């Protein structure tokens, strides 16, 4: 009994440690592991060759939007809307203007530069992934 209690306590502490070390926590969208590298100058990613361009990728909870802010800065967001992330009809898209990300299902709109809410019903910003660009390779990771 004493060993079982010690084991349970140790396991609970490990779980808490792993959760605490996972980094960024989103209010609604669960954390998933993301780690891939692309080369924006590749013809497969033509839209990322210019400022204001975006591409859609698989991964995350509902896919990932990668957007080029300037020559060296990219942002990456999960396509799951924070308001209704479990609904496949609520996947986010870049609108025609190229400056907002929208959920055409619930009507939420988000700033493409920082993922902040422009219009609800979503009360939460987009789930953002880390990016690292060395001038050639772009890494997207959580």
> Alpha-carbon distance 138 to 49, whole Å?
12
Q: Which domains does the chain have, with CATH numbers?
A: 29-141 (2.102.10.10)
Lowest mean pLDDT among 7-21, 62-76, 99-113, 117-131: 7-21
How much is the pLDDT for 25? 59
The pTM for the full model equals: 0.80
Provide the pairing of β-strand 54-57 with 64-68: antiparallel
Residue closest to 35 by CA, chosen among 74, 70, 76, 85: 76
Q: What is the pLDDT of residue 22?
A: 42
Q: Quick check: 77 and 129 in contact, CB under 8 A?
A: yes
pLDDT value, residue 136 = 96
Give CA–CA dist 94/6, Å, rounded: 51
Nearest to 28 by CA among 112, 106, 96: 106
């Amino acid at each position: 009994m004493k060993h079982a209690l010690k084991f349970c306590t140790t396991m609970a502490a490990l779980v808490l440690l792993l959760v605490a070390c996972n980094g960024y926590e989103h209010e609604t969208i669960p954390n998933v592991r993301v780690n891939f590298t692309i080369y924006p100058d590749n013809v497969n990613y033509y839209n990322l060759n210019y400022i204001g361009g975006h591409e859609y990728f698989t991964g995350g909870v509902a896919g990932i939007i990668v957007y080029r802010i300037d020559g060296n800065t990219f942002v990456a967001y999960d396509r799951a809307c924070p308001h209704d992330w479990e609904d496949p009809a609520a996947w986010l898209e870049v609108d025609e203007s190229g400056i907002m990300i929208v959920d055409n299902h619930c009507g939420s709109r988000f700033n493409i530069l920082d993922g902040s809410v422009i219009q609800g019903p979503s009360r939460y910003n987009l789930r953002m992934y880390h990016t690292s660009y060395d001038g050639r390779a772009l890494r997207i990771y959580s």
